[in-house]
Structures are given as structure tokens and as C-alpha cells.
A and B are shown apart, each in its own frame.
Chain A
Amino acid sequence: MEIGAGQSAYTFTVLLMLIGLYGMVLKRNLVKKLIGMNVFQAAVILFFIVQGYKSGATVPIYDPALGTAPERYINPIPHGLMLTAIVVSVATTGVALALLIRVHRHFGTLDEPALLIQLRKDG
């Protein structure tokens, strides 16, 4: 498997990761942090998918005209793995949103610094 060709894809992935990190770390609003997390996860997923690409290859469904030569089909394994990862991401987002609803209901705010003050305050 090659890592080489198509550097731009990797650059883009790294960029997405950085955006995601920026969101997770530097944003004050919890929902924005969550979005940042999702972006980061999406970046990782994209990274995997790009791995599977081969130039000149097509969808991994057997085509008698192409035969069984592996270099004619893109690698389906990363796609399969990433389906699982997407499910994980969705589940995590679901749990996170459920938590956020509770936080908002109890504290009335989703601003992290304000919440931290509240945390430290109660005895």
C-alpha cells in the first residue's frame, strides 16, 4: 500500500483535525466543543478512507471484466472500519447531547467557564 500519492488529501485531513482541536479546546460553548469533536472524528475517518484509495481503481464490487486483480479495486476494509467508527461517533454524539440537555436544564447555561465556577461553588 502506498502512502505517497495525493498529498493534498492528507493536508486537508490534518487541517480538519486542527479545526476540530481548535473547537474542542478553545471554544467556550459546550455545543461548539462537541462540534469540534465531531469534526476531529470526521477528519480521522477521512484519513482512513483516503488510505484505501488507489489511482485507477474502481468500486470494490466484483466486475468480471476486471477480474480479481486487487489493484483494480480500491481497498474496502477501511470503509468497513469507518462505518463502525461513524456509528461510534454517532453514539458518542448522542450521549453528549443527552448530557448537554441535562446540563442546560440544571444550570441554565452551556458556557464552560461559568459552569466551572458553579462546580467549584457547591459544597
Chain B
Amino acid sequence: MIESNLPVAIAVVLLFGTLAVVSLGEWRRGLAWPAAFVTILVFAAMSVALLLIVMRRGPVRAPIAGWAAPIGIEFVVDGLGAFVVTVIAGIAVLVALYAREAVGRETPGRETPFFAMFLVLLLGLAGIVLTGDLFNLYVFLEIASLAGYSLMAVGDARAVVSSFRYLIMGTLGASLYLLGVGFLYTLTGSLNMADVAARLPELASNPALLVSVAMMVGGVGLKMALFPMHLWLPDAYTYASSTTTAIVAPVMTKVSAYVVIRMLFFVYDLELVSRELPVGTILAWLSAAGIVVGSVMAIAQTDAKRMLAYSSVAQVAYIGVGIGLASPLALVGAVLHILNHAAMKCCLFLVTGGVTLQTGRRSIAEYAGLGRLMPWTFAGFTLAALAMVGIPPTNGFFSKWYLVLGGIQAGEWALVAVVVASSALTAVYFFRLLELIYAAPAEGLTASDPGLGMRLPVVALGVGVLVLGLGNAWFVTHVIQPSLPGALRAIT
């Protein structure tokens, strides 16, 4: 393990960036976006640097204020953490590009607080991923959540209501997580993840341990929109402003999934726990239900954003299935899907945002004929939609491939069937939309592609799903596999 201040520097940059946005933005409104964008670029550069360091030289640790673990709080970044933080940064850059025009048009006059909260959200998410301390994770979780609630409440009045409901449920989730941490602290006397992991094996059959696992997975699962705790998601994503949905949807639930992975495989030993309480199995089956419910509900929707929101429930559930299966390839699929779904969903929500801003249209039926009028936007959309259905060589296909292989490895044929069948369901609601977009007449409307700032991220992500698909093996062998815990590293 090498020591470096880079992880802490990331958090510091984001924190000072927020201050810069607030102060510069109050002085001149036009400076809010540039300050935020520069900060995000620096954040992205640092994340990539961190990823390269971790890939080349192994995990990085950064004890905060010089207090060594396990007494002090430390940031620990392994391959998995560096991977997720880079995904967050990448999405942030693209959404920030989009946000320049979009925020000005959707919520005029609110740029400064919006971009400040945007950076705080990134700070919280990055902190969750980078930290190696259980309680510190709670703090960052709540930082991210509060920023999320605030961002989601900007805009439409309905967004305020859905944000409040999300607040109640989200806080419940975080409190359950905290309770889980409390039990772990009681059992082991430590809050440091690595330390706790070392101490837990002797306590394997202690009932308090099982309660803590249940609390933590339940709490974080709520934030992950694990069935049946997903009810906050559709409203929250639908009514929030397009920029907010574009940053929250690809990233927040994924970071919660990351927390579940971190807890179940790096802190607890899932094997030991599963002997008393089959956490993995329960997680896998709840996720399977989530896949089905999410897909079916998506088909039933008439509003485009709401359809994508239910689709997100289903897609995060794929990750849940991968985690629950707990076989090496299933985990690879789950982690890869963090990246893949982030890219696909970000693209899709950026498109719906662009469409609403350019044409005022929200419902699926109103998308008729837009393919001709907004060619670049929908070129990106089509690629992302094909990726969601899971058509090779897009990245969505490879997530499915690994999950199916993982399911076969674990012998869970029913779950394989669910994953495969849901592809067909996804095809229904996406091809219905694609048919409307390209093969129906546009009703007396003139519209055009939005400006470059809003178009570029869409096209970049559209191309990205192809590149990520064809190049997925690179990520798997160089980033994901080395970061999985030892027993789960073997492929076959």
C-alpha cells in the first residue's frame, strides 16, 4: 500500500471548488458555471491519475491529519474505488457541459446555488467511494444525500414534493446504515473497514453481526432503490430538472451499490454470513423482482422520463443480482454495469432533457417524428437505447454476458432466465419509442438540435457505449478483476 495525499486532495478540491462557485457566483452570476466546470475538470484529472496509480502500484492509503488507522480516519482507494470515482468524474464532466445551457434555461437565476450543490453532491459521492472508515462513509452519504435532495427540489413545484418524500425515505436508509455501523462498532470496537474485516471472522456466528448486516444492506438498499424500497425513485427522477436527473440517475444508486459491494465482500465475509442468514440469496431474489417490476412498469408508462426512471430501477437491480449471485463473473458483471449503466442512462436523460427544452414535449407519444428534426440527439439516443436492450457490440450486451455467465457459474438458472427475459421486456419499451421517433410523422413541429454544449455529451456517450462495449475486456482484466477480493478473482 502506498501513501499519498491524492484521495484527500480530491475531496479538498471539490470543497474549495464549492466555495469558489459560491463566492464568484455571488459576485458575477456568469462565473458560477466556469468555476464549477474547472473544478470538475480538475476532479476528473485527479480521479484518472488516481486510477492509474492504483492500477500500476496497488491500493493507495491516505490517513487524514496524520492519524494512522485504526484510530484515525483514513481514505483507502483500491481498484474498485478508483474505478467508481472515475466513473463519477466522467459523468460529472459530461453533465456539466450540458448544464451550462440547460440550467440557464430550466432554472434561470439559480445557477450559483445549483452548481454549488452540484459540487457538494460530487464531494459526497467521491467521499463515499474513497473513504476507508465506516462512520466517515455515513457522513459523506448524508452530504451527498442532502445535496441530492436540494438539487432535486430545484425547478418544478412537484419536484419539491417528490424530493421531500425521497428525503424521508433516504434518511431512513442512512439511519439504518448508521445502526448497522453501531452494531459493528459494538462487536469489534473499530470503525476502520479493514480493521473490522480482520476482526469479524471470529465473531461469525454472533447474532448481532447478522442484525448489523441486515441493517446495513437494508439501509443502503433503500438508497439503491432495491425492490420493494424503490418507490421514491420514479417520482424523484421524473419531476427533477433534467440536469439533476442526468447527474443523479447514473451515479447515486450506483454509489449505493458500490457500498453494498464494499460491505458484503470487503468488510463482511459473505460466505460466513450466508451460513446463518442467506443475504446474497435474498438480495438476488429481491433484485430479480426489481428487474421484473421495473421492466413491466416501464412498459406501462406514457411519460418518457418516468419510463426511464422505472428502467433505472430494473437496471440497478441487475447490479443487485450480480452482487447476490456472488460468483466471480457475476461480480464482474455487476461492477462493469456500474460503468455501463451510468453511461447509457446519462445519455438517455440528457436526451429527454434536450427534447423537453427544445420542444416542450414530455410524453412518449409526443416523440413522434423527432428523429429527423433532432438527428444528432437521437443518434446518441438510439445507440444508448440499443445498449440498454443489450445488443452487441454495445456495452449493455457485455454486462448481460457476464451476468449470464456468472449465473451459470453459480448454477442459478432461474436468475439467468430473469436477466435474459428482461432484455426482451426492455426491447419492448425502447423499440416502441424508436419506432415512433423514426417512423412516424412529426406533427407540425419545427425543432432542432440544441446547442453544442448540450449535444456533445449525448454524442460522446453514444459513441462511448460502443467503445466501452468493444473495449470492455480491458476494464475487466486491468481494473475490475485485480480489485476483487482474492477468492473471487478466478474467472472459471
Q: How far is the CA of A24 from the CA of B178 in the complex (A)?
A: 18
A30 within 8 Å of B (CB atoms): yes
Q: How far is the CA of A106 from the CA of B182 in the complex (A)?
A: 40
Contact A99/B172 with A47-B179, A107-B161 known, Cβ cut-off 8 Å: no
Write the chain A residue with the least CB distance to B170: A92
- Asked whether A95 lies within 8 Å of B172 as measured between CB atoms, the reply is no
Neighbour of B171 across the interface among A41, A106, A115, A122, CB < 8 A:
A41
A51 within 8 Å of B (CB atoms): yes
- Asked whether A88 lies within 8 Å of B185 as measured between CB atoms, the reply is no
- Asked whether A92 lies within 8 Å of B158 as measured between CB atoms, the reply is no
A69 within 8 Å of B (CB atoms): no
Write the chain B residue with the least CB distance to A21: B172
Residues of A within 8 A of B189 (CB): 1
Residues of chain A in range 62-92 having any CB-CB distance to chain B below 8 Å: 77-78, 81, 84-85, 88, 91-92
Residues of chain B in range 162-198 having any CB-CB distance to chain A below 8 Å: 162-164, 167-168, 171-172, 175, 178-179, 182, 185-186, 189, 191
A61 within 8 Å of B (CB atoms): no
Q: Interface residue count for A (Cβ, 8 Å)?
A: 36
- Identify which of B162, B163, B167, B191 gathers the most chain A CB atoms within 10 Å of its CB: B167
- Asked whether A118 lies within 8 Å of B158 as measured between CB atoms, the reply is yes
- Asked whether A92 lies within 8 Å of B146 as measured between CB atoms, the reply is yes
- Asked whether B168 lies within 8 Å of A119 as measured between CB atoms, the reply is no
- Asked whether A51 lies within 8 Å of B146 as measured between CB atoms, the reply is no
Query: Chain A interface mostly helix, strand, loop or mixed?
Result: helix
Residues of B within 8 A of A116 (CB): 161
- Asked whether B157 lies within 8 Å of A102 as measured between CB atoms, the reply is yes
Neighbour of B153 across the interface among A1, A51, A99, CB < 8 A:
A99
Residues of B within 8 A of A41 (CB): 171, 175
The tally of CB-CB contacts under 8 A between chains A and B is 84
Q: How far is the CA of A25 from the CA of B171 in the complex (A)?
A: 13
- Identify which of B157, B162, B163 gathers the most chain A CB atoms within 10 Å of its CB: B157
Q: How far is the CA of A48 from the CA of B208 in the complex (A)?
A: 14
- Asked whether A100 lies within 8 Å of B182 as measured between CB atoms, the reply is no
Q: How far is the CA of A20 from the CA of B186 in the complex (A)?
A: 23
Closest Cβ of chain B: how far from A34's Cβ, in Å? 7
Q: How far is the CA of A96 from the CA of B142 in the complex (A)?
A: 13
- Asked whether A99 lies within 8 Å of B160 as measured between CB atoms, the reply is yes
Query: Chain B interface mostly helix, strand, loop or mixed?
Result: helix
Closest Cβ of chain A: how far from B239's Cβ, in Å? 7
Q: How far is the CA of A34 from the CA of B169 in the complex (A)?
A: 11
Encoded as 1 (CB less than 8 Å from any A CB) or 0, chain B from 91 to 107 comes to 00000000000000000
Closest Cβ of chain A: how far from B185's Cβ, in Å? 7
- Asked whether B146 lies within 8 Å of A95 as measured between CB atoms, the reply is yes
B74 within 8 Å of A (CB atoms): no
Closest Cβ of chain B: how far from A72's Cβ, in Å? 17
- Asked whether A99 lies within 8 Å of B149 as measured between CB atoms, the reply is yes
Residues of A within 8 A of B158 (CB): 118-119, 122
Q: How far is the CA of A91 from the CA of B142 in the complex (A)?
A: 9
Q: How far is the CA of A118 from the CA of B163 in the complex (A)?
A: 15
- Asked whether B171 lies within 8 Å of A44 as measured between CB atoms, the reply is no
Neighbour of A44 across the interface among B153, B161, B175, CB < 8 A:
B175
Residues of A within 8 A of B438 (CB): none
List residues of chain B with CB under 8 Å of any chain A CB.
135, 138-139, 142, 146, 149-150, 153, 157-158, 160-164, 167-168, 171-172, 175, 178-179, 182, 185-186, 189, 191, 208, 235, 239, 362
3 closest Cβ pairs, A-B complex = A106-B157, A88-B142, A99-B164
16 A-B pairs within 8 Å (CB atoms) are namely A40-B175, A44-B179, A48-B178, A77-B185, A95-B167, A99-B153, A99-B164, A103-B161, A107-B157, A107-B161, A116-B161, A118-B158, A118-B161, A119-B162, A119-B239, A122-B158
